[in-house]
Amino acid sequence: MKLDHSYAKELQHLGSPIKPLELKNARITSVNQRLIDELQLPGEWFKDDVLLPMLFADDSELVEFSMAQKYGGHQFGGWNPDLGDGRGLLLSEWVTGSGQRWDLHLKGAGPTPYSRFADGRAVLRSTIREYLASEALFHLGIPTSRALCLITSDEPVYREKKEWGAMLIRVCQSHIRFGHFEYFYHSQQKDKLDDLFQYCLKYHFADCQKTQYPHLCMLQKIVADTASLIAKWQAYGFNHGVMNTDNMSIHGITFDFGPYAFLGDFNPGFVCNHSDHAGRYAFDQQPSVGLWNLNALAHAFSPYLSVEQIKSALGQYELILQSDYAELMCAKLGLKSGDKNNQAVLSQWLELLAQDKRDYSLSFRLLCDFDVHGENAALRDHFVDRKTFSQWADNYKTLLFSQGIQQAQRQLSMKKHNPNYLLRNYLAQLAIDDADQGDFTKFNTLLKVLSKPFADEPAYAEYAQAPPQWGKHLEISCSS
Protein backbone atom coordinates (compact mmCIF):
# COMPACT_ATOMS: atom_id res chain seq x y z
CA MET A 1 0.00 0.00 0.00
CA LYS A 2 1.46 3.31 -1.05
CA LEU A 3 0.94 6.73 -2.54
CA ASP A 4 1.87 6.97 -6.20
CA HIS A 5 1.95 9.75 -8.77
CA SER A 6 1.90 7.92 -12.10
CA TYR A 7 -0.33 10.43 -13.90
CA ALA A 8 1.69 13.45 -12.79
CA LYS A 9 4.98 11.79 -13.65
CA GLU A 10 4.10 10.04 -16.90
CA LEU A 11 1.61 12.58 -18.26
CA GLN A 12 2.95 15.78 -16.74
CA HIS A 13 2.45 17.57 -20.09
CA LEU A 14 -1.31 16.91 -19.89
CA GLY A 15 -1.92 19.38 -17.11
CA SER A 16 -0.35 21.91 -14.77
CA PRO A 17 1.37 21.41 -11.39
CA ILE A 18 -0.62 23.30 -8.74
CA LYS A 19 -0.74 23.21 -4.95
CA PRO A 20 -4.00 23.55 -2.98
CA LEU A 21 -4.78 26.99 -1.60
CA GLU A 22 -5.49 26.92 2.12
CA LEU A 23 -8.96 27.78 3.41
CA LYS A 24 -9.47 30.02 6.44
CA ASN A 25 -9.87 27.96 9.62
CA ALA A 26 -10.23 24.71 7.67
CA ARG A 27 -11.42 21.67 9.63
CA ILE A 28 -12.49 18.12 8.86
CA THR A 29 -16.22 17.88 9.41
CA SER A 30 -17.06 14.43 8.05
CA VAL A 31 -14.99 11.33 7.39
CA ASN A 32 -16.18 8.32 5.38
CA GLN A 33 -14.73 5.72 7.72
CA ARG A 34 -16.22 2.74 5.91
CA LEU A 35 -14.55 3.82 2.66
CA ILE A 36 -11.26 4.52 4.42
CA ASP A 37 -11.31 0.97 5.75
CA GLU A 38 -12.26 -0.50 2.35
CA LEU A 39 -9.34 1.24 0.66
CA GLN A 40 -6.97 0.41 3.53
CA LEU A 41 -6.03 4.06 3.90
CA PRO A 42 -4.18 5.03 7.09
CA GLY A 43 -6.84 6.03 9.59
CA GLU A 44 -4.53 8.46 11.35
CA TRP A 45 -4.45 10.64 8.24
CA PHE A 46 -7.98 11.87 8.82
CA LYS A 47 -7.37 14.13 11.75
CA ASP A 48 -7.16 17.90 11.52
CA ASP A 49 -3.57 18.04 12.74
CA VAL A 50 -2.47 15.42 10.19
CA LEU A 51 -4.51 15.80 6.99
CA LEU A 52 -4.59 19.59 6.79
CA PRO A 53 -0.80 20.00 7.00
CA MET A 54 -0.56 17.24 4.37
CA LEU A 55 -2.85 19.23 2.07
CA PHE A 56 -1.37 22.68 2.58
CA ALA A 57 2.36 22.00 3.05
CA ASP A 58 4.24 22.13 -0.26
CA ASP A 59 6.66 19.38 0.72
CA SER A 60 3.95 16.89 1.72
CA GLU A 61 3.99 13.60 -0.19
CA LEU A 62 0.24 13.96 -0.71
CA VAL A 63 0.57 17.16 -2.76
CA GLU A 64 4.17 16.91 -3.96
CA PHE A 65 2.95 16.22 -7.50
CA SER A 66 -0.59 17.60 -7.32
CA MET A 67 -1.86 18.81 -10.67
CA ALA A 68 -4.81 20.22 -12.54
CA GLN A 69 -5.66 18.10 -15.56
CA LYS A 70 -6.31 19.58 -19.00
CA TYR A 71 -9.26 18.46 -21.13
CA GLY A 72 -12.02 19.80 -23.35
CA GLY A 73 -15.61 18.77 -23.75
CA HIS A 74 -18.88 19.02 -25.60
CA GLN A 75 -21.09 21.19 -23.40
CA PHE A 76 -24.79 21.05 -24.31
CA GLY A 77 -23.68 19.78 -27.72
CA GLY A 78 -21.11 22.48 -28.47
CA TRP A 79 -17.35 21.87 -28.48
CA ASN A 80 -15.35 23.80 -25.87
CA PRO A 81 -11.57 23.33 -25.84
CA ASP A 82 -11.06 25.72 -22.92
CA LEU A 83 -11.79 23.31 -20.09
CA GLY A 84 -9.79 21.58 -17.39
CA ASP A 85 -9.71 21.19 -13.62
CA GLY A 86 -10.84 24.68 -12.66
CA ARG A 87 -11.39 23.99 -8.98
CA GLY A 88 -10.02 20.50 -8.49
CA LEU A 89 -6.61 18.89 -8.22
CA LEU A 90 -5.40 15.34 -8.63
CA LEU A 91 -3.43 14.96 -5.40
CA SER A 92 -2.05 11.46 -5.59
CA GLU A 93 -2.99 7.89 -6.36
CA TRP A 94 -3.46 5.37 -3.60
CA VAL A 95 -2.41 1.84 -4.50
CA THR A 96 -3.92 -0.87 -2.29
CA GLY A 97 -2.27 -4.11 -1.28
CA SER A 98 -3.99 -5.88 -4.18
CA GLY A 99 -2.64 -3.34 -6.65
CA GLN A 100 -5.93 -1.51 -7.17
CA ARG A 101 -5.30 2.15 -8.02
CA TRP A 102 -7.49 4.99 -6.67
CA ASP A 103 -7.25 8.68 -7.43
CA LEU A 104 -7.31 11.04 -4.46
CA HIS A 105 -8.81 14.23 -5.84
CA LEU A 106 -9.46 17.53 -4.04
CA LYS A 107 -12.42 19.69 -5.06
CA GLY A 108 -12.45 23.35 -4.07
CA ALA A 109 -8.66 23.56 -4.10
CA GLY A 110 -8.41 27.12 -5.44
CA PRO A 111 -7.65 28.67 -8.83
CA THR A 112 -5.83 26.81 -11.58
CA PRO A 113 -4.84 27.78 -15.14
CA TYR A 114 -8.23 26.39 -16.19
CA SER A 115 -10.41 28.34 -13.74
CA ARG A 116 -11.41 30.89 -16.39
CA PHE A 117 -11.14 33.83 -13.97
CA ALA A 118 -13.17 32.03 -11.27
CA ASP A 119 -12.00 31.56 -7.68
CA GLY A 120 -11.54 27.79 -7.93
CA ARG A 121 -13.51 27.24 -4.76
CA ALA A 122 -16.37 24.90 -3.94
CA VAL A 123 -19.15 26.00 -1.63
CA LEU A 124 -20.51 24.00 1.27
CA ARG A 125 -23.84 23.55 -0.53
CA SER A 126 -22.42 21.84 -3.62
CA THR A 127 -19.93 19.84 -1.58
CA ILE A 128 -22.64 18.40 0.64
CA ARG A 129 -24.75 17.58 -2.42
CA GLU A 130 -21.90 15.62 -4.00
CA TYR A 131 -21.07 13.79 -0.77
CA LEU A 132 -24.69 12.73 -0.26
CA ALA A 133 -25.33 11.79 -3.89
CA SER A 134 -22.23 9.70 -4.32
CA GLU A 135 -23.00 7.70 -1.18
CA ALA A 136 -26.67 7.34 -2.13
CA LEU A 137 -25.78 5.95 -5.56
CA PHE A 138 -23.09 3.65 -4.21
CA HIS A 139 -25.47 1.99 -1.77
CA LEU A 140 -28.04 1.56 -4.54
CA GLY A 141 -25.42 -0.35 -6.50
CA ILE A 142 -24.84 2.37 -9.11
CA PRO A 143 -21.16 2.93 -10.07
CA THR A 144 -19.93 6.32 -8.85
CA SER A 145 -17.04 8.33 -7.55
CA ARG A 146 -17.20 8.57 -3.75
CA ALA A 147 -16.55 11.16 -1.08
CA LEU A 148 -13.72 10.42 1.32
CA CYS A 149 -13.99 13.43 3.61
CA LEU A 150 -15.59 16.86 3.89
CA ILE A 151 -13.54 19.89 4.92
CA THR A 152 -15.37 23.05 5.98
CA SER A 153 -14.07 26.53 6.72
CA ASP A 154 -14.84 30.09 7.80
CA GLU A 155 -13.89 31.48 4.40
CA PRO A 156 -16.68 33.35 2.59
CA VAL A 157 -17.22 32.46 -1.05
CA TYR A 158 -19.51 34.53 -3.22
CA ARG A 159 -21.97 33.04 -5.70
CA GLU A 160 -25.51 34.39 -5.96
CA LYS A 161 -25.00 35.19 -2.29
CA LYS A 162 -22.32 34.76 0.34
CA GLU A 163 -21.66 31.10 1.12
CA TRP A 164 -18.97 29.14 2.96
CA GLY A 165 -15.97 27.62 1.24
CA ALA A 166 -15.52 23.87 1.54
CA MET A 167 -13.39 21.08 0.13
CA LEU A 168 -14.09 17.48 -0.70
CA ILE A 169 -11.59 14.68 -1.22
CA ARG A 170 -13.16 12.15 -3.54
CA VAL A 171 -11.91 8.85 -4.91
CA CYS A 172 -12.47 6.83 -8.06
CA GLN A 173 -10.42 4.64 -10.39
CA SER A 174 -9.22 7.74 -12.25
CA HIS A 175 -10.47 11.19 -13.20
CA ILE A 176 -9.89 10.68 -16.92
CA ARG A 177 -12.87 11.87 -18.92
CA PHE A 178 -14.09 11.57 -22.50
CA GLY A 179 -12.97 15.20 -22.79
CA HIS A 180 -9.32 14.31 -22.21
CA PHE A 181 -9.22 12.29 -25.41
CA GLU A 182 -11.35 14.75 -27.33
CA TYR A 183 -9.08 17.66 -26.47
CA PHE A 184 -5.84 16.09 -27.63
CA TYR A 185 -7.53 14.68 -30.73
CA HIS A 186 -9.20 17.92 -31.83
CA SER A 187 -6.10 20.00 -31.04
CA GLN A 188 -4.13 17.59 -33.26
CA GLN A 189 -1.58 16.76 -30.56
CA LYS A 190 -1.10 13.18 -31.70
CA ASP A 191 1.93 12.56 -29.50
CA LYS A 192 0.01 13.52 -26.37
CA LEU A 193 -3.00 11.49 -27.47
CA ASP A 194 -0.68 8.49 -27.93
CA ASP A 195 0.70 8.99 -24.43
CA LEU A 196 -2.80 9.19 -22.95
CA PHE A 197 -3.88 5.98 -24.64
CA GLN A 198 -0.75 4.13 -23.60
CA TYR A 199 -1.17 5.30 -20.02
CA CYS A 200 -4.80 4.13 -19.91
CA LEU A 201 -3.95 0.78 -21.46
CA LYS A 202 -1.13 0.32 -18.96
CA TYR A 203 -3.01 1.26 -15.79
CA HIS A 204 -6.74 1.01 -16.47
CA PHE A 205 -7.31 -1.38 -19.36
CA ALA A 206 -4.39 -3.75 -18.85
CA ASP A 207 -6.37 -6.78 -20.06
CA CYS A 208 -6.88 -5.07 -23.40
CA GLN A 209 -3.13 -5.09 -24.03
CA LYS A 210 -3.33 -8.88 -24.35
CA THR A 211 -5.77 -8.66 -27.26
CA GLN A 212 -5.09 -8.26 -30.98
CA TYR A 213 -6.66 -4.79 -31.02
CA PRO A 214 -6.09 -3.09 -27.64
CA HIS A 215 -7.74 0.19 -28.65
CA LEU A 216 -10.84 -1.64 -29.88
CA CYS A 217 -11.03 -3.61 -26.64
CA MET A 218 -10.73 -0.37 -24.66
CA LEU A 219 -13.51 1.33 -26.64
CA GLN A 220 -15.75 -1.73 -26.28
CA LYS A 221 -15.22 -1.69 -22.52
CA ILE A 222 -16.04 2.02 -22.25
CA VAL A 223 -19.17 1.54 -24.38
CA ALA A 224 -20.35 -1.42 -22.31
CA ASP A 225 -19.69 0.25 -18.95
CA THR A 226 -21.41 3.46 -20.02
CA ALA A 227 -24.46 1.58 -21.29
CA SER A 228 -24.70 -0.41 -18.06
CA LEU A 229 -24.39 2.75 -15.96
CA ILE A 230 -27.15 4.60 -17.79
CA ALA A 231 -29.42 1.56 -17.60
CA LYS A 232 -29.09 1.80 -13.81
CA TRP A 233 -29.80 5.55 -13.85
CA GLN A 234 -33.00 4.92 -15.79
CA ALA A 235 -34.11 2.02 -13.60
CA TYR A 236 -33.62 3.93 -10.35
CA GLY A 237 -34.93 7.23 -11.68
CA PHE A 238 -31.70 9.24 -11.48
CA ASN A 239 -31.33 12.37 -13.60
CA HIS A 240 -27.71 13.54 -13.84
CA GLY A 241 -28.51 16.91 -15.35
CA VAL A 242 -25.21 17.82 -17.06
CA MET A 243 -24.06 14.98 -19.32
CA ASN A 244 -21.39 17.04 -21.04
CA THR A 245 -18.54 14.90 -22.35
CA ASP A 246 -16.18 16.45 -19.80
CA ASN A 247 -18.45 14.93 -17.13
CA MET A 248 -18.30 11.42 -18.60
CA SER A 249 -15.81 8.96 -17.08
CA ILE A 250 -13.97 6.30 -19.07
CA HIS A 251 -14.79 3.93 -16.20
CA GLY A 252 -18.56 4.09 -16.58
CA ILE A 253 -19.14 5.75 -13.23
CA THR A 254 -21.38 8.62 -12.16
CA PHE A 255 -19.17 11.64 -12.12
CA ASP A 256 -19.24 15.37 -11.40
CA PHE A 257 -22.45 15.97 -9.48
CA GLY A 258 -24.27 19.21 -10.16
CA PRO A 259 -28.02 19.73 -10.57
CA TYR A 260 -28.92 16.05 -10.20
CA ALA A 261 -32.26 14.73 -8.94
CA PHE A 262 -34.05 11.47 -8.34
CA LEU A 263 -37.47 11.41 -9.96
CA GLY A 264 -40.44 12.46 -7.86
CA ASP A 265 -43.82 12.51 -9.60
CA PHE A 266 -43.08 10.48 -12.72
CA ASN A 267 -42.47 12.57 -15.80
CA PRO A 268 -40.30 10.88 -18.45
CA GLY A 269 -39.30 14.28 -19.81
CA PHE A 270 -38.25 15.62 -16.40
CA VAL A 271 -35.41 18.18 -16.52
CA CYS A 272 -33.61 18.63 -13.21
CA ASN A 273 -31.23 21.33 -14.45
CA HIS A 274 -32.93 24.70 -14.64
CA SER A 275 -30.10 25.92 -16.88
CA ASP A 276 -31.02 23.28 -19.46
CA HIS A 277 -33.69 25.31 -21.23
CA ALA A 278 -33.90 23.01 -24.26
CA GLY A 279 -34.16 19.83 -22.16
CA ARG A 280 -31.10 18.23 -23.75
CA TYR A 281 -30.36 16.31 -20.57
CA ALA A 282 -33.93 15.40 -19.64
CA PHE A 283 -34.39 12.06 -17.90
CA ASP A 284 -35.70 10.26 -20.99
CA GLN A 285 -32.90 11.69 -23.14
CA GLN A 286 -30.07 10.21 -21.07
CA PRO A 287 -29.77 6.96 -23.06
CA SER A 288 -29.50 8.78 -26.39
CA VAL A 289 -27.12 11.39 -24.97
CA GLY A 290 -24.92 8.59 -23.67
CA LEU A 291 -24.59 7.26 -27.22
CA TRP A 292 -24.01 10.77 -28.59
CA ASN A 293 -21.19 11.25 -26.11
CA LEU A 294 -19.64 7.90 -27.00
CA ASN A 295 -19.70 8.91 -30.66
CA ALA A 296 -17.88 12.12 -29.72
CA LEU A 297 -15.29 10.08 -27.82
CA ALA A 298 -14.93 7.60 -30.68
CA HIS A 299 -13.45 10.29 -32.95
CA ALA A 300 -10.33 10.14 -30.78
CA PHE A 301 -10.05 6.40 -31.53
CA SER A 302 -10.12 6.99 -35.31
CA PRO A 303 -6.31 7.18 -35.69
CA TYR A 304 -6.08 3.66 -34.24
CA LEU A 305 -9.20 1.87 -35.50
CA SER A 306 -11.10 1.45 -38.75
CA VAL A 307 -14.55 2.94 -39.23
CA GLU A 308 -15.99 -0.59 -39.17
CA GLN A 309 -14.32 -1.37 -35.84
CA ILE A 310 -15.64 1.83 -34.28
CA LYS A 311 -19.14 1.17 -35.60
CA SER A 312 -19.09 -2.36 -34.23
CA ALA A 313 -18.08 -1.12 -30.77
CA LEU A 314 -20.72 1.62 -30.70
CA GLY A 315 -23.28 -0.82 -32.05
CA GLN A 316 -23.20 -2.74 -28.76
CA TYR A 317 -24.38 0.24 -26.73
CA GLU A 318 -28.10 -0.02 -27.35
CA LEU A 319 -28.14 -3.80 -26.98
CA ILE A 320 -26.35 -3.70 -23.62
CA LEU A 321 -28.41 -0.80 -22.29
CA GLN A 322 -31.73 -2.39 -23.27
CA SER A 323 -30.71 -5.78 -21.90
CA ASP A 324 -29.47 -4.39 -18.57
CA TYR A 325 -32.48 -2.10 -18.21
CA ALA A 326 -34.92 -4.94 -18.93
CA GLU A 327 -33.19 -7.11 -16.32
CA LEU A 328 -33.32 -4.35 -13.71
CA MET A 329 -36.96 -3.52 -14.37
CA CYS A 330 -37.97 -7.18 -14.20
CA ALA A 331 -36.35 -7.34 -10.77
CA LYS A 332 -38.22 -4.20 -9.70
CA LEU A 333 -41.51 -5.72 -10.89
CA GLY A 334 -40.77 -9.18 -9.48
CA LEU A 335 -40.93 -10.82 -12.90
CA LYS A 336 -38.81 -13.50 -14.49
CA SER A 337 -36.64 -12.07 -17.23
CA GLY A 338 -37.00 -13.25 -20.80
CA ASP A 339 -40.82 -13.38 -20.93
CA LYS A 340 -42.07 -11.53 -24.03
CA ASN A 341 -45.08 -10.27 -22.03
CA ASN A 342 -42.93 -8.36 -19.51
CA GLN A 343 -42.52 -5.29 -21.69
CA ALA A 344 -46.24 -4.67 -22.09
CA VAL A 345 -46.85 -4.81 -18.33
CA LEU A 346 -43.87 -2.53 -17.66
CA SER A 347 -44.93 0.00 -20.30
CA GLN A 348 -48.49 0.10 -19.00
CA TRP A 349 -47.25 0.60 -15.43
CA LEU A 350 -44.98 3.50 -16.41
CA GLU A 351 -47.76 5.05 -18.50
CA LEU A 352 -50.05 4.90 -15.47
CA LEU A 353 -47.43 6.54 -13.24
CA ALA A 354 -46.94 9.31 -15.79
CA GLN A 355 -50.64 9.83 -16.39
CA ASP A 356 -51.47 10.14 -12.69
CA LYS A 357 -48.17 11.86 -11.81
CA ARG A 358 -47.39 9.31 -9.11
CA ASP A 359 -44.06 9.28 -7.32
CA TYR A 360 -41.71 6.94 -9.19
CA SER A 361 -39.84 5.22 -6.35
CA LEU A 362 -42.66 5.35 -3.82
CA SER A 363 -45.00 3.64 -6.32
CA PHE A 364 -42.52 0.83 -6.96
CA ARG A 365 -42.04 0.36 -3.22
CA LEU A 366 -45.82 0.11 -2.70
CA LEU A 367 -45.93 -2.45 -5.49
CA CYS A 368 -43.64 -4.74 -3.48
CA ASP A 369 -46.64 -5.72 -1.31
CA PHE A 370 -48.86 -6.55 -4.28
CA ASP A 371 -51.09 -9.53 -3.41
CA VAL A 372 -52.17 -11.70 -6.31
CA HIS A 373 -55.06 -12.98 -4.18
CA GLY A 374 -56.16 -9.63 -2.75
CA GLU A 375 -57.81 -6.37 -3.75
CA ASN A 376 -54.66 -4.27 -3.18
CA ALA A 377 -56.78 -1.39 -1.92
CA ALA A 378 -53.87 0.68 -0.64
CA LEU A 379 -52.09 0.51 -3.97
CA ARG A 380 -55.29 1.13 -5.93
CA ASP A 381 -56.07 4.20 -3.82
CA HIS A 382 -52.60 5.51 -4.63
CA PHE A 383 -53.90 6.23 -8.14
CA VAL A 384 -56.43 8.71 -9.45
CA ASP A 385 -57.51 6.56 -12.40
CA ARG A 386 -58.49 3.47 -10.45
CA LYS A 387 -60.21 1.83 -13.41
CA THR A 388 -57.01 1.87 -15.45
CA PHE A 389 -55.06 0.66 -12.43
CA SER A 390 -57.44 -2.27 -11.96
CA GLN A 391 -57.05 -3.23 -15.60
CA TRP A 392 -53.29 -3.12 -15.26
CA ALA A 393 -53.40 -5.08 -11.99
CA ASP A 394 -55.37 -7.86 -13.71
CA ASN A 395 -52.72 -8.07 -16.45
CA TYR A 396 -49.97 -8.07 -13.83
CA LYS A 397 -51.66 -10.86 -11.86
CA THR A 398 -52.04 -12.95 -14.99
CA LEU A 399 -48.37 -12.56 -15.81
CA LEU A 400 -47.28 -13.39 -12.25
CA PHE A 401 -49.46 -16.52 -12.23
CA SER A 402 -48.10 -17.61 -15.61
CA GLN A 403 -44.53 -17.29 -14.36
CA GLY A 404 -45.30 -19.33 -11.24
CA ILE A 405 -43.46 -17.05 -8.84
CA GLN A 406 -44.03 -17.76 -5.15
CA GLN A 407 -45.54 -14.62 -3.63
CA ALA A 408 -43.52 -14.26 -0.43
CA GLN A 409 -40.29 -14.82 -2.33
CA ARG A 410 -41.30 -12.24 -4.95
CA GLN A 411 -42.23 -9.60 -2.39
CA LEU A 412 -38.97 -10.08 -0.50
CA SER A 413 -36.94 -9.91 -3.71
CA MET A 414 -38.73 -6.76 -4.91
CA LYS A 415 -37.90 -4.98 -1.66
CA LYS A 416 -34.23 -5.61 -2.42
CA HIS A 417 -34.57 -3.79 -5.75
CA ASN A 418 -36.94 -0.94 -4.89
CA PRO A 419 -35.43 1.52 -2.41
CA ASN A 420 -37.42 2.76 0.55
CA TYR A 421 -35.11 5.73 1.08
CA LEU A 422 -33.88 8.06 -1.64
CA LEU A 423 -31.89 11.26 -1.70
CA ARG A 424 -34.67 13.74 -2.38
CA ASN A 425 -33.44 17.23 -3.20
CA TYR A 426 -35.52 18.72 -0.40
CA LEU A 427 -33.85 16.41 2.13
CA ALA A 428 -30.45 17.50 0.89
CA GLN A 429 -31.55 21.13 1.14
CA LEU A 430 -32.71 20.73 4.74
CA ALA A 431 -29.31 19.25 5.61
CA ILE A 432 -27.57 22.11 3.80
CA ASP A 433 -29.63 24.78 5.58
CA ASP A 434 -28.60 23.41 8.98
CA ALA A 435 -24.99 22.89 7.92
CA ASP A 436 -24.79 26.56 6.91
CA GLN A 437 -25.46 27.28 10.59
CA GLY A 438 -22.84 24.80 11.73
CA ASP A 439 -25.24 21.94 12.54
CA PHE A 440 -24.45 18.72 10.67
CA THR A 441 -26.95 16.51 12.50
CA LYS A 442 -29.32 16.18 9.54
CA PHE A 443 -26.42 15.61 7.16
CA ASN A 444 -25.09 12.74 9.27
CA THR A 445 -28.53 11.23 9.77
CA LEU A 446 -29.18 11.37 6.04
CA LEU A 447 -25.88 9.62 5.34
CA LYS A 448 -26.88 6.87 7.75
CA VAL A 449 -30.33 6.44 6.19
CA LEU A 450 -28.97 6.40 2.63
CA SER A 451 -26.44 3.70 3.52
CA LYS A 452 -29.38 1.24 3.83
CA PRO A 453 -31.77 2.33 1.05
CA PHE A 454 -33.74 -0.92 0.96
CA ALA A 455 -34.31 -1.17 4.72
CA ASP A 456 -37.57 -0.39 6.47
CA GLU A 457 -36.87 1.21 9.83
CA PRO A 458 -39.78 2.89 11.66
CA ALA A 459 -37.41 5.45 13.21
CA TYR A 460 -36.73 6.81 9.71
CA ALA A 461 -40.29 6.70 8.34
CA GLU A 462 -40.20 10.39 7.43
CA TYR A 463 -37.40 9.71 4.93
CA ALA A 464 -39.62 7.26 3.03
CA GLN A 465 -42.38 9.80 2.36
CA ALA A 466 -43.14 11.64 -0.86
CA PRO A 467 -41.69 15.16 -0.98
CA PRO A 468 -43.84 18.00 0.35
CA GLN A 469 -45.21 20.32 -2.30
CA TRP A 470 -42.46 22.91 -1.74
CA GLY A 471 -39.84 20.19 -2.10
CA LYS A 472 -41.00 19.17 -5.58
CA HIS A 473 -40.00 22.38 -7.31
CA LEU A 474 -36.55 23.31 -6.01
CA GLU A 475 -34.47 25.08 -8.66
CA ILE A 476 -31.11 23.41 -9.09
CA SER A 477 -28.68 24.70 -11.71
CA CYS A 478 -25.11 24.05 -12.85
CA SER A 479 -23.85 26.65 -10.39
CA SER A 480 -24.76 24.30 -7.59
Question: Which of 103, 246, 256, 324 does the annotation list as catalytic?
Answer: 246
433 in catalytic set: no
Q: Are the C-beta atoms of residues 84 and 68 closer than 8 Å to each other?
A: yes
Type of residue at 9: K
DSSP label at 359?
A: B
Query: Does residue 63 sit in helix, strand or coil?
Result: coil
Cα 311 from Cα 223, distance rounded (Å)? 11
Cα 15 from Cα 70, distance rounded (Å)? 5
- What lies within 8 Å, CB to CB, of 355 at 6+ separation is 385, 388
Cα 306 from Cα 235, distance rounded (Å)? 34
Query: Does residue 59 sit in helix, strand or coil?
Result: coil
135, exposed or middle or buried, with CB in 10 Å at 0-12, 13-18, 19+? buried
Type of residue at 247: N
Cα 187 from Cα 32, distance rounded (Å)? 40
Three-class HEC string of 296-346: HHHHHHCCCCCHHHHHHHHCHHHHHHHHHHHHHHHHHHCCCCCCCCHHHHH
- What lies within 8 Å, CB to CB, of 195 at 6+ separation is 10, 11, 13, 14
Active site residues: 246
